[in-house]
Amino acid sequence: MTKQASIKKRINELRDEIRRHDELYYVQDNPEISDRDYDELMERLRDLEQKHPEFVAPDSPTQRVAGRPAEGFPEFIHRRPMLSLDNSYNIEELRAFDERCRRLAGGKAPEYVAELKIDGLSLSIHYEDGVFVRGVTRGDGFRGEDVTPNAKTIRSVPLKLRNGASGIAREIEVRGEVYLPRRIFEKINAEREEAGEPRFANPRNAASGAIRQLDPKIVARRRLDMFAYDVLAGERKAFKTHWEALDWLVSAGLHVNENRRLCQSIEEVIEFCNEMESKRDDLGYEIDGVVVKVNSTALQDEFGATGKAPRWAIAYKYPARQATTEVKDIVVQVGRTGALTPVAMLEPVALGGVTVSRSTLHNEDEIERLGLRIGDWVLIERGGDVIPKVLKVVDSKRTGKEKRFRMPTECPVCGGRVSRPEGEAVSRCIAADCAAQLIGRLLHFASRRAMRIEGLGFALAEQLIEKKLVRDVADLYSLTIDELASLERMAKKSASNVLSQIEASKSRDLWHLIYGLGIRHVGERTAGILARHFGSLERLGQARVEELDDIHEIGLTMAQSIRDWFDDPGNKRLTERLRDAGVRTEAEKPARRAEDQKFAGKVFVLTGTLPSMTRDEARSLIEASGGRVTSSVSKKTDFVLAGAEPGSKLDKANELGVKVIDEAEFKKMLA
């Protein structure tokens, strides 16, 4: 093949690939690659076409904005094209944007507005004399789909503008992003799973599928929401600045995201980007970055646009949270309870700012649900919880060479028998002396939220067990410096560090110990409740099942599991040996009688983002004062503690007449 022919071939391949992803994204709402990977494909194509203009064709994906109108809805030609945005992926690129803006503005630093980039789909809604008349999707940027009946089902789209359009123009167009709150997304997916339908990969796909439903009744059930981010008077911008436009939208009764900032410099923009990135997981909806816009409308007009995007705005994208990669193998890990967990070994891929090379598959049922085989390509996601999960198999990448996975019938660590009881999803190694379980128990005991013994990692735990220096967690407290120093990669210095860590762990507060024992069903929170209630390990060990079950938030399964643990003679000896070794088994503060406490018996519901504390912090404060936190508002709720963006819980509280307090009031009550 000549060089020209091979370039042409490459260009055609790229175009086909991009078209296929367009189809998956825009028509099927079922993307296989991340936006970033898509951008990269586009960039490569654009680059090749630029170097070889002889191959540019009018039907190339580079020649239009994106997307295409779906069938079933009338077409509507936008009065002013709905452009997309150029992306930037790091601070340098943001600074370069700033420099270009300053140059275009003749050397003066323009004001910017920074706002969240909501991960949904854009919608344009039209008002005539203040009355809603039409809703149109973006489509390819020039022609969209008229989805009026569906747009009307969105509660945050007012059917009449509150300020009666206050004289700006007869025809008003509001643009914004339609999205699905996370909470509703989870609900929809649970329902789909129940009905045997495939889950949506993310809220955006679910929202975009919803707005294109032909039956508005189904759309209404999806509970879509919308944040407005622009207003046009006819086909012109309605205000002198973008900031004023946003204020006007608020006064008109539209939802405008309150996380927005007027910035005097790019440094302030960067600060906003960083701040919001750390809050990303606390928002009730997905964002994929920040949009930075030049505030002055006159400057915007002056800067103009390149083919698809304005020069006066840029998206600062946060690291993608989804990616596709190959499952090289599925290995089985044995945990401290003997549970066998299949883990997907992935071709390493960058995701959310780190390289991901493995992902838990939980159990056999999960593998079955996903229909996953070794060798498959998968879409993975890494949310705020750090652990990446496999969302789905990319069917189109199947070659037929993929292999089915079988759960081993023998423990991969000790060779012991594996059993999966009827009705349970988890297979377990039932050998009592399985080394993997011992290692797991040691690591859990030493973990940060338990006894926090730094330096006791996997390699050390493995050696301690192999050399038979440690058979259970109590043995840690009789280790000598010589024993430790005799181990591989363990100099005297690090041996003595580990010893002093072990020593220090003796005085951790009681809940750390209770949690560290690894009693089934007893997590950190339960450990805290038990420590506060009983005040000592001894008293906890004597508690009857009914007594445990009577404690709020402790159910019968948990109560039984706690009782069983203490009834085991080996465990009983273990607790005695821990106490004899000098480990603190009493709570720092003696158990207080619940009725003496500030919030004794009070029920709280938390909603929205609090100004100075996380929800977990608020929860701990409430629980430490004898109150409880539940997830939904009912007549039994005493207080709703509301922060920014409170959502429907606040409405519910007002409806039921439940007292709503803010953080300041909450702190006053505590003081």
**Angle (CA) 58 64 66, round 5°:** 140
Q: What's 457-468 look like in SS3?
A: CHHHHHHHHHCC
CA dihedral 634, 638, 644, 649 (to 10 degrees): 0
Residue 345 in contact with residue 329, Cβ under 8 Å?
Answer: yes
Checking DSSP bridges between strand 75-77 and strand 143-145, what pairing results, if any? Answer: antiparallel
Question: What is the DSSP-derived secondary structure letter of residue 477?
Answer: G
Checking DSSP bridges between strand 287-294 and strand 143-145, what pairing results, if any? Answer: unpaired
Give the residue ranges of DSSP H helices in 33-90.
Answer: 35-51
For residue 186, the one-letter residue type is: E
Residue 636 in contact with residue 603, Cβ under 8 Å?
Answer: yes
d(CA 572, CA 381): 43
Residue whose tokens read 């205000």: 239
The strand pairing partners of 392, in sequence order, are 379
d(CA 669, CA 671): 6
The strand pairing partners of 410, in sequence order, are 417
The strand pairing partners of 310, in sequence order, are 305
Instruction: Show the tokens assigned to 641.
Output: 């503690």
CA-based nearest residue to 393, from 384, 402, 406: 402
Catalytic residue check, 117: yes
Helices (H) and strands (E) in the chain, counts: 24, 23
d(CA 163, CA 317): 34
Q: Which of 51, 117, 152, 237 is catalytic?
A: 117
170 Cβ neighbours under 8 A, 6+ residues apart = 128, 129
Residue 390 in contact with residue 372, Cβ under 8 Å?
Answer: yes
- Distances 334 to 91, 147, 359, 435, 524 between C-alpha atoms, Å: 42, 52, 15, 9, 22
d(CA 92, CA 74): 43
Question: What is the DSSP-derived secondary structure letter of residue 581?
Answer: T
Shortest Å, Cβ 115 to ligand IVH: 4
Residue whose tokens read 């720092």: 588
CA-based nearest residue to 460, from 491, 427, 425: 491
Report the chain's C-alpha Rg in angstroms: 29
d(CA 254, CA 123): 13
Instruction: Show the tokens assigned to 76.
Output: 């509507």
Binding site residues, ligand IVH, CB under 6 A: 83-85, 115, 117-118, 122, 138, 177, 229, 291, 310, 313, 315
H-run or E-run covering 558: helix 556-567
Active-site positions read 117
